[in-house]
Amino acid sequence: MRTPSGPFDRGHTEDLMTFLAASPTPYHAVASAAERLEKAGFRQVEETEAWDGTTGGKYVLRGGAIVAWYVPEGVAAHTPFRIVGAHTDSPNLRVKPRPDAGGHGWRQVAVEIYGGPLLNSWLDRDLGLAGRLSLRDGTTRLVNIDRPLLRVPQLAIHMDRSVHTDGLKLDKQRHMQPVWGLGDDVHEGDLIRFLEDESGLGEGDVTGWDLMTYSVEPPAFLGRDRELVAGPRMDNLLSVHAATAALAAAASAETLPYIPVLAAFDHEENGSQSDTGADGPLLGSVLERSVFARGGTYEDRARAFAGTVCLSSDTGHAVHPNYAERHDPTHHPRANGGPILKVNVNNRYATDGAGRSVFAAACEKAGVPFQSFVSNNAMPCGTTIGPITAARHGIKTVDIGVAILSMHSVRELCGADDPYLLANALVAFLEG
């Protein structure tokens, strides 16, 4: 275990495990982040209200997205922002509009595939069900059935003898529908009535829903010396959690040359194009309103944006011992080797040389080592919210993150030191 020079240590990783377990959906994730920010003195502001120029910590919630910022004493209208960006969504199985299905004596829930999950990892897991219920009275509420409720049963090997020679072939429509009990008398509305009962609501109260399945197995330390963490949704709640902790810590700094910001978006896993995604106007609108609420002009807004830097934090790939040849031969990020700087010259990542210097300075100040990630030329490179943020708002952006294994599995794996090493680097960045 490393000796950290920033405010965070292994306790941060333990808190991450609590955060992951409490955040089965983007809606729960932003609630978990807001709860931590409230404890640090931040207060929610409504997008529908007029904003004022007061100092202190503030945040906006919109669906599965949160933007939070801290206005220090004596700040100018043109003071630039320092932003940590991340995303709250993870690939999973989501409930269809008419979910009540089944046959042959089994009750099933019809699901749609969200993003690009490793489908095999969802088989034979005990799944809970969580999300957001929209009620007849116009309000919404969170729901979380945190117990084994559903399962996508794998076909027995006796009926699929070629699975090891031809590979496991999963049809997204036919083979991924979970069972959730027994019975032949399946009726439309059964699942929603079950959720109304579980939530203490009356029949017909729920008129809309955004529901998704998740593995109920809690995160756990793993390895000979417990040097690893296994758990769900590290991509990318690991970054959301680290950024939330870093913003709360930065808010207690004595002086801040920048306005520190957390921006955690929904819908990264399917392209970010939504009112809560990184390709929407949410972040730009919040930053502009913050400038104007402090009496700034469009000139101040332009000056602030021109001096702003965003660290876009998302998970990347640690070198896989069984598939090392899939990585670039000279770039092998290791678990517990510190955060990664992600580079792709074709702008799948927004990092350039100047951005590298900004991140290197933050890591040096925090006493945190960092590693570089670049794809093998023969492999397509993933992407994230970094290039979108840079292009949409004209903001200098650097893509960074933490190297994990099993990205997009229902249960991912990371080093137990990396979450707090990332958080320490983020605080150093936000504090300037």
Q: DSSP for 301-325?
A: HHHHHHT-EEEEEEEEEPPPTT-GG
Scanning 56-64, 173-181, 197-205, 314-322 for contacts with Zn ion by CB under 5 A, the matching segment is 314-322
Q: Which residue number, 41 or 116, has a Cβ lying nearer to Zn ion?
A: 116
Q: Which residue number, 236 or 290, has a Cβ lying nearer to Zn ion?
A: 236
- Give the number of residues written for the chain: 432
| Smallest separation, CB 268 to Zn ion (Å) | 6
Contact 217, 126 (CB under 8 A): yes
Scanning 33-41, 148-156, 195-203, 309-317 for contacts with Zn ion by CB under 5 A, the matching segment is 309-317
Q: Is 408 annotated among the ligand-binding residues?
A: yes
| Smallest separation, CB 315 to Zn ion (Å) | 5
Residue 190 interacts with Zn ion (CB under 5 A): yes or no: no
Residue 236: both structure tokens together: 């990318």
Q: Is 175 annotated among the ligand-binding residues?
A: no
First to last CA, the chain: 27
Q: Which residue number, 290 or 383, has a Cβ lying nearer to Zn ion?
A: 383
Q: How many residues bind Zn ion (CB under 5 A)?
A: 3
| Smallest separation, CB 116 to Zn ion (Å) | 10
Q: Which residue number, 79 or 344, has a Cβ lying nearer to Zn ion?
A: 344
Q: Give how far Cα 3 sits from Cα of 89, 104, 374, 420, Å.
A: 32, 58, 28, 11
| Smallest separation, CB 384 to Zn ion (Å) | 6
Distance separating alpha carbons of residues 293 and 150, to the nearest angstrom: 48
Q: Which residue number, 259 or 403, has a Cβ lying nearer to Zn ion?
A: 403
Residue of 23, 236, 308, 313 that binds Zn ion (CB under 5 A)? 236
Residue 235 interacts with Zn ion (CB under 5 A): yes or no: yes
Region for 213 from its dihedrals, namely left if φ exceeds 0, alpha if ψ lies in -120 to 50, beta otherwise: beta
- DSSP letter at 121 equals G
Q: Give how far Cα 333 sits from Cα of 42, 50, 379, 404, Å.
A: 35, 46, 16, 9
Contact 342, 373 (CB under 8 A): yes
| Smallest separation, CB 202 to Zn ion (Å) | 39
Distance separating alpha carbons of residues 55 and 57, to the nearest angstrom: 7
Q: Which residue number, 266 or 314, has a Cβ lying nearer to Zn ion?
A: 314
Scanning 22-30, 184-192, 231-239, 345-353 for contacts with Zn ion by CB under 5 A, the matching segment is 231-239
| Smallest separation, CB 269 to Zn ion (Å) | 7
Q: Which residue number, 93 or 256, has a Cβ lying nearer to Zn ion?
A: 93
Residue 312 interacts with Zn ion (CB under 5 A): yes or no: no
Scanning 64-72, 235-243, 330-338, 419-427 for contacts with Zn ion by CB under 5 A, the matching segment is 235-243
Number of helices (H) and strands (E) in the chain: give both, helices first. 10, 18
Scanning 296-304, 311-319, 373-381, 391-399 for contacts with Zn ion by CB under 5 A, the matching segment is 311-319
Rg (Cα) of the chain, in Å, rounded? 22
- Estimate the crossing angle of helix 418-430 against helix 353-366, to 10 degrees: 110
Degrees to nearest 5, angle at CA 125 with 417 and 97? 110
Q: Give how far Cα 264 sits from Cα of 158, 198, 353, 409, 423, Å.
A: 46, 30, 25, 21, 15
Which candidate, 63, 113, 110, places its Cα nearest to that of 90? 113
What character string, x for contact with Zn ion (CB under 5 A) and - otherwise, covers 110-129? --------------------
Residue 351 interacts with Zn ion (CB under 5 A): yes or no: no
- Estimate the crossing angle of helix 10-22 against helix 418-430, to 10 degrees: 100
Q: Which residue number, 266 or 288, has a Cβ lying nearer to Zn ion?
A: 266
Residue 417 interacts with Zn ion (CB under 5 A): yes or no: no
Q: Which residue number, 33 or 250, has a Cβ lying nearer to Zn ion?
A: 33
Q: Is 332 annotated among the ligand-binding residues?
A: no
| Smallest separation, CB 274 to Zn ion (Å) | 16
Residue of 15, 89, 205, 314 that binds Zn ion (CB under 5 A)? 314
Adjacent-strand bridge partners of 75: none
Annotated binding site for Zn(2+): 87, 158, 408
Annotated binding site: 87, 158, 408
Please report, as ranges, the residues that interact with Zn ion according to CB under 5 A.
235-236, 314
